[in-house]
Amino acid sequence: MAIAGREADTNLPFVSLDRLSPPSADAESVTRPLHVRALDNLQFIRDTMERASAFTAISGRGMIAMGMVAIAAAGVASVQRSRVEWLAIWLAAAVVGAALGGAAIVYKARASRTPLLSGPARKFALGFAPPIVVGALLTWALYRAGLDGVLPAVWLLLYGTAVVCGGTFSVPVVPVMGMCFMALGAVSLVAPPAWGWLELGLGFGLLHIGFGIAIARRYGG
């Protein structure tokens, strides 16, 4: 490698660009003007940071907060007899949880000086959003058809799908969490409808808290 060879020749810690080929030393790059090589280096740094910033996109503390909201909702929903109140509790929990999770992501991004609209964040959002939109539409359709019993399974399966899709651009533990949601959703499909609050509490509550603790410990918050 050209750079390694040059380092063997001299022991100087710095080198003049007059003697220097660019980091990707090849015939084409050596003939390029200095400012083009400088631009290329800046672009390389930006790309690397953008790829690496995916590791900090998700807030573990936000997930813990979302999990606590879900456990509280499961407790309240378990004693509800009315269909509409049961649904209203979970929709309210979803809105509060999403707000807490979103605020935690913004806080974490600001604390680590990571741009929120970076490439990985956009890719995460693009992967995450479609299954959530489908989930919202199916919630409306299934509720109208009187099929509330399958809603927990549909929510767990589609949220898991969203997390797996978005998590492809995040830390490895995120897609694993999504798969756990999908597995629980699959179990929920064959479980008695009366257990819906329990399945949602286990999924949106305990899975969020468990993985949130892991992410907060491992990925700085």
Partner 1 sequence: MAKTTGVARHRDAADARPATGRVGGRVAARASSALDRIIHERLRLGIVSALAVNTALTFNELKQLVRATDGNLSVHARRLEEAGYIACSKTFAGRVPRTEYRLTAAGRRALERYLEHMEALIQATRER
Residues that bind partner 1 (CB under 8 A): 3, 7, 11-18, 20, 23-24, 33-35, 38-39, 41-42, 44-45, 48-49, 51-53, 55-56, 112, 114, 219-220
Residue 24 or 192 having the CB closest to partner 1: 24
Residue 3 or 179 having the CB closest to partner 1: 3
Least separation in angstroms between CB 54 and partner 1: 9
Closest CA to 209 of 74, 114, 88: 74
**H or E segment to which residue 86 belongs:** helix 83-111
Residue 28 or 194 having the CB closest to partner 1: 28
Least separation in angstroms between CB 4 and partner 1: 8
Least separation in angstroms between CB 179 and partner 1: 20
Query: How far apart (Å, rounded) are the C-alpha atoms in residues 122 and 52?
Result: 14
40 burial level (CB within 10 Å; 0-12, 13-18, 19+): middle
Least separation in angstroms between CB 155 and partner 1: 32
Q: What are the residues whose beta carbons fall under 8 Å from the beta carbon of 21, sequence distance 6 or more?
A: 2, 3, 29, 30
Residue 45 or 189 having the CB closest to partner 1: 45
Residue 93 or 215 having the CB closest to partner 1: 215
Least separation in angstroms between CB 169 and partner 1: 13
Nearest 5 degrees, angle CA 102-CA 187-CA 143? Answer: 65
CA-based R_g, the chain, Å: 24
